[in-house]
Amino acid sequence: MTDFSKNDVNVVKRETLFQGFYRLDKLHLQHRQFAGGMGPVITRELFVRPAAVGVLVYDADSDSVLLIEQFRVGALEDIHPWQLEIIAGLIEPGESSEDVVRREALEEAGVTLGALEKVMEFLPSPGGSDERFGLYVAQADLALAGGIHGLPEEGEDIRVNVMSFNQAMASLQRGRINNAPCILALQWLALNKPRLLARWKKS
- Which of the residues are catalytic? 154
Handedness of CA 87, 148, 78, 165 (dihedral sign): positive
Rounded distance between C-alpha atoms, residue 105 and residue 114, angstroms: 11
Candidates 54, 56, 64; CA nearest to 142 is 64
Rounded distance between C-alpha atoms, residue 131 and residue 77, angstroms: 22
CA dist list (Å): 189 to 94, 108, 113 = 29, 21, 16
Candidates 80, 81, 98; CA nearest to 89 is 98
Handedness of CA 159, 162, 167, 168 (dihedral sign): positive
Rounded distance between C-alpha atoms, residue 140 and residue 103, angstroms: 14
Q: Which residue pairs from 71-76 have beta carbons closer than 8 angstroms and sit at least 24 positions apart in sequence?
A: 71/157, 72/179, 75/179
